[in-house]
Amino acid sequence: MLKRRAKDKMKGRLPEAEVNIVSLMDILTTLLFFIIMMASFNEFFALPASPLQMGKAAEGEQKPTFVLKVRLESENKLALYLGPVEGLTAITDKNGLKSWLRRRFSGNESRGYTRTVYHKNKETVQKNLQDILLVLKKHFPHESKAVLDVRGQVHYQVLTDTLSSVRSLGDTSEALTVINALGKEEKTRVLFPQVVISEWTGEV
């Protein structure tokens, strides 16, 4: 009787089956080792730049152009050169810019302005550079080109630090508000992303 009851109970159940997971384990471990071998646990990013290309303006082309050069002499010292601002049309608050340039730079409107940034702490040099570039960007919001002249002894790390500072604001800095081509205000961290790299030959 008991056996019959047990049999009746068993009727509603599916028969027990053994699941062979050996092949699944094979696939998982093979895939795991493959992915571990292929995976890179470092994140890599890139800093774009372009080379200086020799050329000359077409004859008769006298249109003033925005010229911004950062001359990198060492990790503690760099110099800025802003070309003549006379005749540039994309300036917001001309008077404010001119008085700021007179205070912070040496030079004049027709020949351009220069300024040296120096500090024993290289991070401070980069920060001071960004502060200056931020003001320039506010006055020239549609300009995006800059030239980076590099001295031979400068290390690659210093080059990439300066390249990064010229291209965009750091995360710790507040975003810049500019008026875009449609006339609307927008926030951006982009400064001068089109950087041309050249070798500093000693000329200004």
Partner 1 sequence: MGLNITSLMDVLTVLLFFLIKSMTVTSTSVTPPEGIRLPASVSDHQVEEAAVVAFTKNDIRLNHELVTPLNNGNLRPEDLGEDKRTILPLETVLKKEYAKKKRLYGSQASMDLPGKILIQADHKLPFDKLKYLLHTASVSGFTDYQFVVEKPKE
Give me the residues that bind partner 1 (CB under 8 A), please.
21, 25, 28-29, 31-32, 35-36, 38-40, 42-51, 53, 150-157, 159-161, 163-164, 167-168, 170-171, 197, 199
Q: Collect contacts of 178-185 with beta carbons under 8 A, ≥24 apart.
A: 178/137, 178/138, 178/141, 179/92, 179/141, 181/142
CB of 63 vs partner 1, minimal distance in Å: 24
Nearer to partner 1, 8 or 43 (CB): 43
CB of 3 vs partner 1, minimal distance in Å: 27
Residues 25, 27, 28, 33, Cα dihedral to 10° = 120
Residue with structure tokens 């030079």? 107
Nearer to partner 1, 25 or 90 (CB): 25
Nearer to partner 1, 89 or 153 (CB): 153
Pairing of the two strands 106-108 and 112-118: antiparallel
Dist. CA 82–CA 93, nearest whole Å: 17
Q: What is the 3-state secondary structure (H, E, C) of 73-124?
A: CCCCEEEEEECCCCCCCCCCCHHHHHHHHHHHCEEECCCEEEEEEECCCHHH
Nearer to partner 1, 13 or 156 (CB): 156
CB of 189 vs partner 1, minimal distance in Å: 10
Residue with structure tokens 């630090």? 161
CB of 30 vs partner 1, minimal distance in Å: 11
Nearer to partner 1, 147 or 150 (CB): 150
Nearer to partner 1, 42 or 110 (CB): 42
CB of 44 vs partner 1, minimal distance in Å: 5
CB of 134 vs partner 1, minimal distance in Å: 16
Contact yes or no for 97/91 (Cβ under 8 A):
yes
